[in-house]
Structure 1
Amino acid sequence: MDRRGVTDTLGFVFVFALVLSTVGLTFTFGYTGLQDTRDFERLNNAERAFDVMGDNFDDIVRRGAPSRATEVKVADAQLTLADDTTVNVTVTNATGATRNVQYDLQPVVYEAGDGRIVYSNGAVFREDPGGAVVIRHSEFVLRQERVSLPVVTTRGTGRTESIGGTTTVLVRATSPDGQRQSFGFDVARTEPQTELMVNVTSPRPVVWERELGRYDDANCDVYGDTVSCTVSNPERVYVQETLIDIEFE
């Protein structure tokens, strides 16, 4: 009887330990998987919202709309205006004469877990620990017959530039009156052996290289945080900047 009692006790202990370990493993790995799935769905929702936001910004850039607003659901995530991205454009002719313009803009970033959705100068990128992909292309065109560089200078208004928690955020974009500038580089049309260089300095130079290097006439390389692309002897070069003030409500 004593041996049977000991056997029953040990059996109960082993079964109880097995149940506890199973529950623990299920909680640990199951919760992590659930969290990853939830972050993935958040990014999917944010990706769709950023695509709509890009279209709304295009209304301002292309059609001269004074303002647009986009709803973005922030569910245990963070929506911010990130550190500056710099776009530098230089045209050099055969004699060495150069013309140069530079723009600093603040990308709009949605961050959930280890993933991010980024709107930067017309493009939308999706980042995760495995890398980054281009979801929406910018309007940059780097071809020998025509170089078109519409720069979308998004910037904060000095009010709310970061918001988190669980809420629906209204991303309000406004273009100030008179804050649109266009440049046509005549030197690129009249001088032989002209070279155009576009430098984009940002925390994500590799994805910008992928974005700008999709044109066969653009020769792109990455140097640290900067991707540098050159187009030899372009026929026409147009640069347009549109300022867009961003506020989160």
Structure 2
Amino acid sequence: MRGSTDADAGERGSGSRDRAVSDVLGFVLIFSLVLTSTVVVVVAGIGGLEDAREAERVSNAERAVDVLADNIDDLAVRRAPARGTEFSLSSGTLTFGAETRMSVLVWRDGSQRLVAEATMEPVVYDFGDERVVYEGTAVFRESSGGAAVVRRPRLSADDEAAVVTLVGTEGFGASRGGQGRVLVRTLVDDRDARTVRGVTNATVRVRTTESRAPAWLRALEATTPGDDACSLDVDTVECVVETETVTVTETTVDVRYEA
């Protein structure tokens, strides 16, 4: 009888140990699953927060550059002498882009002639992967995937009259980056206006960067009549509008980055 009792006790002990091992393994598996899920949620959450923060930062940059465009319109259209626009850098960099050009030509008396031309140093708010650019009264948002139109250029045209606002910009001051604030001061250097009547058509030509050219094409197509008025050739956009009168306002603006 004692032998049987000892054997039963051994079996019960073995079963208890097996159950204990199973309980430990189960706890380890559950703990591992919970820990893994927590890590995944935290990592995904941090990534989502970073993406949201970056999107908000670039959206704020768009609004700041749009305000700058309004202030330059005060100079070009409402004839103010100077304006100041404050930028909060938020780890971005304010710089100037490579020189671009915008021209207005007319066909009159059997020949084409230049009416006005503006040279532009675009204002660029750069975040590395994305940029917001002011160029020739228009605002664009650029990334590796291309450029989008944030603000259309100041241009209107129909079969009777075309009105074009040209703004040439010349940059002063070194690039500014970091976390501080920068005052972007804009001052009129020169302004002129002219009207040409009795024309057959008018041509608006923009030579810009290859990455922004398709966005310029879309912007000008939206402001000029005719399905085939505009064309794109690498970095140059050209729109030809049949009209009788062309009025061009040309303003040269000094853009200064100040602490």
| TM-score scaled by length of structure 2 | 0.80
1:13 to 1:39, Cα distance in 2 relative to 1, 3 A: same
The whole-number CA distance in structure 1 between the counterparts of 2:188 and 2:85 is: 15
The whole-number CA distance in structure 1 between the counterparts of 2:116 and 2:214 is: 23
Structure 2 residue 164 is the aligned partner of structure 1 residue 156: no
1:10-49 CA deviation, whole Å, 9 max, x = no partner? 3344234324422332243222211111122122222222
1:77 to 1:16, Cα distance in 2 relative to 1, 3 A: farther
1:57 to 1:101, Cα distance in 2 relative to 1, 3 A: closer
Structure 2 residue 256 is the aligned partner of structure 1 residue 241: no
Say if 1:39 and 1:112, in contact at 8 Å, map to a contact too: no
The whole-number CA distance in structure 2 between the counterparts of 1:224 and 1:88 is: 17
For 2:220, the equivalent position in structure 1 comes to: 212
How far does residue 207 in structure 1 lie from its aligned partner after superposition? Answer: 1.8
For 1:184, the equivalent position in structure 2 comes to: 195
Say if 1:92 and 1:99, in contact at 8 Å, map to a contact too: no
1:183 to 1:173, Cα distance in 2 relative to 1, 3 A: same
Q: 3-state SS of the aligned residue for 1:80?
A: strand
Structure 2 residue 149 is the aligned partner of structure 1 residue 134: yes
Say if 2:155 and 2:165, in contact at 8 Å, map to a contact too: yes
Structure 2 residue 103 is the aligned partner of structure 1 residue 93: no
For 1:21, the equivalent position in structure 2 comes to: 36
Identity in percent: 38
For 1:200, the equivalent position in structure 2 comes to: 206
For 1:226, the equivalent position in structure 2 comes to: 236
Say if 2:117 and 2:166, in contact at 8 Å, map to a contact too: no
Which residue of 61, 64, 81 corresponds with 2:79? 64
Q: What stretches of structure 1 move > 6 A for 4+ residues in a row?
A: none
Flag the structure with larger Rg.
Answer: 2
How far does residue 235 in structure 1 lie from its aligned partner after superposition? Answer: 1.2
Contiguous gaps of at least 5 residues in structure 1: none
How far does residue 105 in structure 1 lie from its aligned partner after superposition? Answer: 0.4
Contiguous gaps of at least 5 residues in structure 2: 1-15
Say if 1:142 and 1:212, in contact at 8 Å, map to a contact too: no
| TM-score scaled by length of structure 1 | 0.83
The whole-number CA distance in structure 2 between the counterparts of 1:35 and 1:195 is: 51
1:146-168 CA deviation, whole Å, 9 max, x = no partner? 122221112212x22x2222122
For 1:112, the equivalent position in structure 2 comes to: 127
Q: 3-state SS of the aligned residue for 1:68?
A: strand
- RMSD between superposed Cα atoms in Å: 2.5
For 1:50, the equivalent position in structure 2 comes to: 65
How far does residue 173 in structure 1 lie from its aligned partner after superposition? Answer: 1.0
1:201 to 1:5, Cα distance in 2 relative to 1, 3 A: farther
Say if 2:129 and 2:144, in contact at 8 Å, map to a contact too: yes
Q: 3-state SS of the aligned residue for 1:155?
A: strand
The whole-number CA distance in structure 2 between the counterparts of 1:23 and 1:84 is: 51
How far does residue 137 in structure 1 lie from its aligned partner after superposition? Answer: 2.7
The whole-number CA distance in structure 2 between the counterparts of 1:18 and 1:76 is: 38
1:88-135 CA deviation, whole Å, 9 max, x = no partner? 222233523533643220222223364332222112233456764433
Say if 2:164 and 2:247, in contact at 8 Å, map to a contact too: yes
The whole-number CA distance in structure 2 between the counterparts of 1:19 and 1:106 is: 56
The whole-number CA distance in structure 2 between the counterparts of 1:78 and 1:37 is: 20
Say if 1:85 and 1:201, in contact at 8 Å, map to a contact too: yes
1:184 to 1:27, Cα distance in 2 relative to 1, 3 A: same
For 2:179, the equivalent position in structure 1 comes to: 166
Q: 3-state SS of the aligned residue for 2:89?
A: strand
